[in-house]
Amino acid sequence: MKNHDSKCAHYIRKISQGKIDPPALTGDFSTRQLIDEVFLSYNSGRLREACRIFSDKMLEKDTVIGLSLSGALTPAGLGMSCLVPLIEAGFVDWIVSTGANIYHDAHFALGMDLHQSRPGLDDHQLKAHQVIRIYDIVFDYENLLGTDLFFRKLSRGKAFQKSMGTAEFHHLAGKYLSVQEEKAGRQGKSFLCAAYRCGVPVFTSSPGDSSIGMNLAALDLEGNGLKLDPLVDVNQSAAIVYAAKKGGRSAVVILGGGSPKNFILQTEPQIQEVLGLDEKGHDYFLQFTDARPDTGGLSGATPQEAMTWGKVDEAQLPDTVTCYLDSTVALPLLTQYAMQKTKPRKLRRLMDQLPELMAKMKKEYLKRRQKARPE
């Protein structure tokens, strides 16, 4: 029995990350103290791991951080409360978002209001009063019409009469939206404007799947010259990651799932499998989700499964976390923790570097193709 106790104690010491012995909460704790000292187990424990990896490892100077956004996050105010500070602090270097998050983000820059309410409202009454509902968020139907008008007028402009990727489109849109944001006295309310100011590329993996895409489709019927090219996005996002791994590390933070999740992760298979360039996968991987792998909602995207696709470097699996938690809870805590623990980083301004990054990756790809046998 004595030998058993000794072996047991030795093994527990080996796997222990500390005793379960949190302090009593007094109301005086900072967010960082709360997460470090009280978030010990279950998904609070995973959130603590995520916060520490993000602040202690991902925010090193040599790591390029990509963020994917899905779910209705900007209508809930998370653009202004979290994304703008993260962008301005240099804590996010590039973004993949649903078009819907960008569209609803524009409401705030255009001087439009959204309101907190509650679930369970009478939707027949809301419809009769021309009120739009997103769960417990409500706003005037005119917000949609006004935002539609902004994107249609914008996209008829001379600067937009060409084929381009969504990063370039959003950068141009952010430029003009920033003017409207300042006029409305709402600077700092739009993450797309912050991304423009800070040179952060913002991609949309499914550009037709939002009100922005719907309005651009209407303009196409008029013969407008704007064409969004998703193939440009595939190559530009891969070029960002390829360059990041040449000079340092690549990290991804995934909020929710959907197309943005896959798009940000597919950069590595694009580099390795399709382009045939030497690479091993993202170094750091944080994911906040309420999906499950056994129902198909998370299949291929847990860190372990993603490793088999080459999306994550298998040697870096200890630096990966999946936290089964609502993004509207996780993102503010992650943001505040990082702000309290880490100094701002120098802005990387990847948007300005995209032509150079693309040229370098293209050169490497064509060089490999010349050496390979004809396919």
pLDDT digit string, tens, across residues 19-61: 898 999 999 999 999 999 999 999 999 999 999 999 999 999 9
Domain extent listing, the chain: 48-112+142-371
What are the start-end ranges of the E strands in the chain?
63-69, 94-97, 115-116, 131-134, 137-140, 163-164, 202-203, 227-228, 249-255, 284-288, 320-323
How far is residue 343's CA from residue 60's CA, in Å, rounded to a whole number?
10
Confidence of residue 313 (pLDDT cuts 50, 70, 90): low
What is the pLDDT, as a whole number, of residue 306? 63
Query: What amino acid occupies position 144?
Result: L
Token couple for 279: 């690479």
Mean pLDDT score of the chain, rounded to an integer?
A: 92
- Helix axis angle for 211-221 and 141-155, nearest 10°, is 50
Q: Residue 252 forms beta bridges with which residues?
A: 66, 285
Question: Nearest to residue 89, comparing CAs of 276, 339, 357?
Answer: 339
Q: Is residue 254 scored above 80 in pLDDT?
A: yes
Task: Classify strands 115-116 and 137-140 as parallel, antiparallel or unpaired.
Answer: antiparallel
How far is residue 84's CA from residue 79's CA, in Å, rounded to a whole number?
6
Q: Is residue 1 scored above 60 in pLDDT?
A: no
48-112+142-371 topology per CATH: Deoxyhypusine Synthase (3.40.910)
Enter the pTM of the model. 0.93
Number of other residues whose CB lies within 10 A of the CB of residue 316? 19
Q: Judge whether 311 counts as a catalytic residue.
A: yes
- Among candidate residues 189, 261, 311, 341, the one labeled active-site is 311
What is the pLDDT, as a whole number, of residue 3? 64
What is the pLDDT, as a whole number, of residue 299? 62
Mean pLDDT over 345-354 rounds to: 98
What is the pLDDT, as a whole number, of residue 333? 97
